[in-house]
Structure 1
Amino acid sequence: MGWGLRRFSLTKAVPLAISRGTTSAVQRLELSISRDGITGRGETGGFETGHRGYSTDAVEIELQTLLPRLEGLDPSVPQGFDPLLADLTPPARCALDLALWDWRGRRLQAPVWQLWGLDGARSVATSVTLGLAAVEQVLQRLQRWRELMPVTRVKLKLGSPDGLEHDRALLSAVADAMAGDDRRPAAELQVDANGGWTLDQARRMLPLLQERSVVLLEQPLAPHLDPERDSAGFAALHPECPMSLVADESCWGLEDLLRLAPHVDGVNLKLLKSGGLSQAWLMARVAQQLGLDLMVGCYSDSRLLNGAAAQLLPLIRWPDLDSHLNLIDDPFDGLPLEGDRLMPSRYPGLGIERREAS
């Protein structure tokens, strides 16, 4: 089996600011595996959630160490890779897991969602993200999204370092701008604080969130490495929260999903956190059994990683895969967009190609 690892850059058209900082560009890694004339690809890179983080440099070193160990393995027998995958950090595991799924789907001439028995035509509108900024800048960003595509779902980042007054001003301005009129129906408003509030601040924000018809509150409280302390925050807020409460930074794998399930209404699946599609697929099916709703989200991801996440769209209530729509140098093609509804590709594997090979 052959393999390759290359680094590439992604640059945002509009920098994204959240409670933990601002991102304008990132470095990413593409892992490729080849056998029998078929190549599968996976994307990864560094990221942080406030309590855990990985650098792209460290992930690259980890993958370079891994690659020689792939010698002699057959990607058509995924069980043979399990010992290698188990030893990897989530972002390194993500790269290999995605490459294996892509290879397998291409070998079988079917998209991954079809291998899982899902309905590839079943998906709903993705949210588009408004980062933290001055009120006028955030409204300009909303208008820029509206010039690009229909906007029926908006995710507003709050948890501003400038405090709750700025959060309140942003929320009110965006809610007013999204109000329906004769030309455009009202859009759905979601709020993501990225762990930027204390429990007291979250409680103080709830009345305004309800008044402005916010349908979803994502990760209002800072995540904690101590799982009991982390769960306790959601447990305290959940009974008082009038909208859906969703865990993101607090939920990495199946163990987190199980401990948070009694205290949230949904979880955000991100492939860099889960370590790829295999674990995210398992989490999605377990969440369904537990009655939890699902979001699938992204970091500063290209079409390759978002195309992988899109394989889950038939199961997702709240898609949040807009990062590739804000890139000026995405090296990949694919991921169909119908209005503001992303569709998983109907091409084999992940259905994503390098631009030069398209």
Structure 2
Amino acid sequence: MRLRLRRFPLTKAVPLAISRGSTSAVEHLLVVLEHDGITGCGETGGFDTGHRAYETTAIAAELEALAPCLVPMAPEPLQALEPLLAGLSPPARCGLDLALHDWWGQRLGQPLHRLWSLDPGACVATSVTLGLGEPAAVLARLERWWQQLPATRIKLKLGSPDGLAHDLALLETVAAALEQRRRATGVACELQVDANGGWTLDAARAMLEPLARAGVVLLEQPLAPQADAEADTAGFAALHPLCPLPLVADESCWDLADLLRQAPHVDGINIKLLKSGGLAEALLMARTARRLGLGVMMGCYSDAALLNGAAAQLLPLVNWPDLDSHLNLVDDPFSGLHLDADVLVPPSGAGLGISLRQEPC
């Protein structure tokens, strides 16, 4: 097995601001795995959740150090590689996991969702994201989304460093715009709120009534994630009995262990491949969450169509898709991830079903 890495830039058409800061561009890694005349590809990159952070350079170093160990091995059975993958950070493991799954699907000539017996017809609309900003700028971003696709599910970022008054103004502005669109078009838009850990417990409690009054359908990660698992769980446990809308854990839920710990205190989880370490853990988490009666969100960071195309293989298991990052890129080197109105369609090609439009620099 031969492993190669290529770095490539990703530039947002519209910078995204959340409670922890603003992002306009990132650098990601293309992970290329070659064996027996078949090439599998994965994507990974650095990210920061406030209590854990990974740099793309360090991820590349992990994979480069592992590459010699892979030379005498084969991509299947994947179980034989699990001890090697277990020692990697989640984003490094994700890049290799995706390349391995892409290789496997191509070897069998089938998309992953078909190999997992998932139904592409069960997919629902993806949300699109409105970052923090002044109300007029946020409304302009919303109009830009509506020019690009139907966008019937809107995710509003709150948790502003400027405080709850700013959050309330944004919430009121966006809710009014959605109601105006409903009256004009007859199409109702769903409003979700993601605070990205920007609220204290008291602030989150204070926001519950305004959120419900504005018709918000779910609240994602209102509290800052804690490195201590017991303290992290305690925050959700204190808020959940008071919350009149579904409460979803994102930065506080990385893997199956986190899911099981949070399950009694949340109504859903946000799975992101860079957090979970790839598709193997993500599939297990999605199936477990559904068995436990929890809603599943599938999210992204500043990801290109390769990462989001991999996540899209799981969309038949997802209640709340949130895979819009590639739609906000001006230099995405990948193709093959398509929309039907505002519903992402799991790629039908073998493996991940995503093609390289141009070789990354």
Instruction: Give the TM-score of the pair, scaled to structure 1.
Output: 0.99
Tell me which of 327, 333, 336 is aligned to 1:334.
336
Q: Secondary structure at the match of 2:120?
A: coil
Residue of structure 1 in register with 2:225 after alignment:
223
Range moving further from structure 2, 254-263 or 180-189: 180-189
1:131 and 2:142 correspond:
no
1:87 and 2:90 correspond:
no
1:77 and 2:77 correspond:
yes
Aligned ranges for residues 250-289 of structure 1 at < 5 Å? 250-289=252-291
Residue of structure 1 in register with 2:302 after alignment:
300
One-letter amino acid matched to 2:338: P
Q: Secondary structure at the match of 2:300?
A: coil
Tell me which of 316, 319, 322 is aligned to 1:317.
319
Shift of 1:2: 2.1
Aligned ranges for residues 1-358 of structure 1 at < 5 Å? 1-179=1-179, 180-356=182-358
- Whether contact under 8 Å (1:333, 1:354) holds in the other structure is yes
- Cα distance in 2 for partners of 1:303, 1:13 equals 15
- Cα distance in 2 for partners of 1:92, 1:254 equals 18
- Whether contact under 8 Å (1:247, 1:264) holds in the other structure is yes
Shift of 1:271: 0.3
Shift of 1:77: 1.5
Deviation string 1:205-230 (CA, Å, 9 cap, x unpaired) is: 11100000000000000000111110
Q: Secondary structure at the match of 2:313?
A: helix
How well do the aligned residues superpose, as a CA RMSD in angstroms?
0.8
Shift of 1:273: 0.3
Q: Secondary structure at the match of 2:296?
A: strand
Shift of 1:266: 0.2
- Whether contact under 8 Å (2:2, 2:67) holds in the other structure is no
- Cα distance in 1 for partners of 2:67, 2:25 equals 27
Instruction: Give the TM-score of the pair, scaled to structure 2.
Output: 0.98
One-letter amino acid matched to 1:172: E
- Cα distance in 2 for partners of 1:195, 1:270 equals 16
- Whether contact under 8 Å (1:120, 1:346) holds in the other structure is no
- Whether contact under 8 Å (1:135, 1:173) holds in the other structure is yes
- Cα distance in 2 for partners of 1:302, 1:320 equals 13
Range moving further from structure 2, 90-99 or 69-78: 69-78
One-letter amino acid matched to 1:285: R
Shift of 1:274: 0.3
Deviation string 1:9-35 (CA, Å, 9 cap, x unpaired) is: 000000000000000000000111111
- Cα distance in 2 for partners of 1:305, 1:274 equals 13
- Cα distance in 1 for partners of 2:37, 2:125 equals 36
| 4+ residue segments displaced more than 4 Å | none
- Whether contact under 8 Å (1:42, 1:98) holds in the other structure is yes
- Cα distance in 1 for partners of 2:218, 2:207 equals 13
Shift of 1:184: 4.1
Shift of 1:338: 0.6
One-letter amino acid matched to 2:315: L
Deviation string 1:255-297 (CA, Å, 9 cap, x unpaired) is: 1000000000000000000000000001111111111110000
One-letter amino acid matched to 1:59: I
- Cα distance in 2 for partners of 1:31, 1:84 equals 16
Shift of 1:122: 1.7
- Over the matched positions of the two proteins, sequence identity in percent amounts to 64
Q: Secondary structure at the match of 1:285?
A: helix
- Cα distance in 1 for partners of 2:2, 2:184 equals 58
- Equivalent pairs, count: 357
Deviation string 1:101-132 (CA, Å, 9 cap, x unpaired) is: 00000010000111111112220000000000
Q: Which runs of 5+ in 2 are unaligned?
A: none
Q: Which runs of 5+ in 1 are unaligned?
A: none
Shift of 1:246: 0.0
- Cα distance in 2 for partners of 1:282, 1:111 equals 18
- Whether contact under 8 Å (1:139, 1:174) holds in the other structure is yes
Q: Secondary structure at the match of 1:64?
A: helix
One-letter amino acid matched to 1:255: A
Q: Secondary structure at the match of 2:358?
A: helix
- Whether contact under 8 Å (1:157, 1:191) holds in the other structure is yes
